[in-house]
Chains A and B, each alone.
Chain A
């Protein structure tokens, strides 16, 4: 039972990360390799904003932190788009993917320069909600993680299914030139995509930092998010959710039941198995696998 709760909590964080990657892919066919770094940097910003005035998180500082982190991440997404990604429109998506790798390197170095590599934790919701007989417990943060991710997914689903802008996303992704000629505002769509993606990354980062801790090395969660997105299908939000849970489950079950040291490799093996069977992911659109 405790295992299930842990898998749900971690899985929802991975699912949120995967969702961010999916959004960018849906809009532009670019795979964002900097997602983990964006998440952790966002969480660091949150931490700094929250602890700016004291050594404990009060209600006011928590609120400030949320506002600051939310606006900063959304704005940063727009900046990334206009400064970097926009210039790569029309080039092969492979190039854009490499640029995100470069961005990832810079962001990771930024943590060193700005925060001096100090590892921090975000002490939100660490109190126990319910204690199991066997010794484990559910903390508030576990519940908050799952609920927040569910809410985020619901919002995204509504956006993509029901709003006009959401439907235009796929058109923009498949053929930007054609979509632009049909009066789809490509720049607006892509800017929104990046903004929402970076915001969701920061959100995932904060949730992750609350359950675990933050350090420049924590950016590895981006790889888990990417694996989750690939497993679920790079253009499927539903796939992102399932993929996130699958990756979390694979990691946990391997660590607990097979061997802790293999926990790192198993998600990749799951990915390989899924890809051998359905190369476009569990819920992705069936298409020629010619992506980078």
Chain B
């Protein structure tokens, strides 16, 4: 996997930094990191569906909502522990993803997007009714108790950081393997030219459905973890804007790249806070309208990356990595046997 010793050193340093981050960060920064980690899981999910398999889906927010509400119901109403509630929520998400994927077999492109949008509205409608009629305090949402084992409760930012790190790492390994497997290749073939893929022997409907199912399960996982993390579930959180933000994450990170999803998720999650920090540091005092700029920043990021770097952050990373790999030379070495 990592032929050069320096590559192993770099990976070791990155892992060390990531693991020791809580030591020199405050609670607030850790909180932002935790939000990013949850976003990473969701971003990988949508990247598998839209980036690898080419199925443009606007239903991300509704899948996350399914995960969150399943968790809320199981944990709060039935008192299930988290190691039951979380997998169950993923299954719920997978089931809904499968159902949403069925019409997807018929449509492509914008029509597919509109189909998923219709499903999104339908799901949100159901959940709104649920929260209003069945939920304990209608307007304040459903409270979710923190995950606990044997009385140990996960409530601190540090604890969450490590827990989410494990979850994100697991999802990352799973997805990287998936992308390298026959399934991943089939998806890419479908994305590029599904008719050609079919003639090459790929069972297109099966793999499309698989993409929807897995993507929705991951989104539900993100929603479920989010529910435990914020301890309150409200349907108002899961809007169309949220789905577009996830699309922005994979555009910025790099569509069709699992590692790119990580970059994109962290970037988009932290961007509004960074913009605000920048404004705080400026000496002038602006009116409240300036907060709109935080919103605009995501739109600007989408446009900026599409115009200047359409392959996303992962491409920038690759370029930097290649630069250092070759340095101080400009070209790669040609080995006698022709191997790289």
Contact = CB atoms under 8 A, between A and B. Distances in A.
Contact of A87 (B103, B121, B287, B307): B307
B114 A84 contact: no
Contacts of B122: 265
Nearest to A292: B109
B194 to A, nearest CB: 9
Interface stretch (B18-26, B163-171, B173-181, B297-305): B297-305
Given A113-B289, A113-B292, A105 B299 contact: yes
Contacts of B56: 94, 292
Contacts of B318: none
A289 B113 CA distance: 13
Given A109-B293, A109-B296, A272-B118, A101 B247 contact: yes
A291 B302 contact: no
B87 interface: no
A112 B103 contact: no
B310 A91 contact: yes
Contacts of B115: 272, 275
A101 B244 contact: yes
A75 to B, nearest CB: 19
Identify whether the interface residues of A are mostly helix, strand, loop, or mixed.
Answer: helix
Interface residues of B, number: 38
B209 interface: no
B292 A109 contact: yes
B107 interface: yes
Interface in B227-278: 244, 247-248, 251
A264 B296 contact: no
A103 B244 CA distance: 12
A94 B248 CA distance: 14
Given A230-B111, A276-B106, A289-B108, A265 B310 contact: no
Interface string A87-114: 1100100110111011111101111111
A236 interface: no
A116 interface: yes
B117 A268 contact: yes
A114 B287 CA distance: 11
Contacts of B293: 109, 113
A269 interface: yes
B107 A279 contact: yes
B109 A264 contact: no
B288 A271 contact: no
B292 A102 contact: no
Contacts of B303: 84, 99, 102-103, 106
A109 B295 contact: yes
B53 to A, nearest CB: 14
Contact of A98 (B114, B125, B291, B306): B306
A87 B289 CA distance: 31
A55 interface: no
B302 A101 contact: yes
Given A106-B300, A113-B292, 15 more contacts: A84-B303, A91-B310, A95-B310, A98-B251, A102-B298, A105-B244, A109-B292, A110-B292, A112-B291, A114-B289, A227-B114, A262-B125, A268-B121, A269-B118, A271-B118
Interface of B: 56, 103, 106-111, 114-115, 117-118, 121-122, 125, 244, 247-248, 251, 287-296, 298-303, 306-307, 310
18 contacts: A87-B307, A91-B310, A94-B109, A95-B306, A97-B110, A98-B302, A102-B248, A105-B299, A106-B296, A109-B292, A109-B299, A110-B292, A265-B118, A265-B122, A271-B118, A272-B114, A275-B107, A275-B115
9 closest residue pairs by CB, A with B: A105-B299, A112-B292, A102-B302, A268-B118, A109-B296, A113-B292, A106-B299, A109-B295, A102-B303
Interface of A: 31, 84, 87-88, 91, 94-95, 97-99, 101-106, 108-114, 116, 226-227, 230, 261-262, 264-265, 268-269, 271-272, 275-276, 279, 289-292
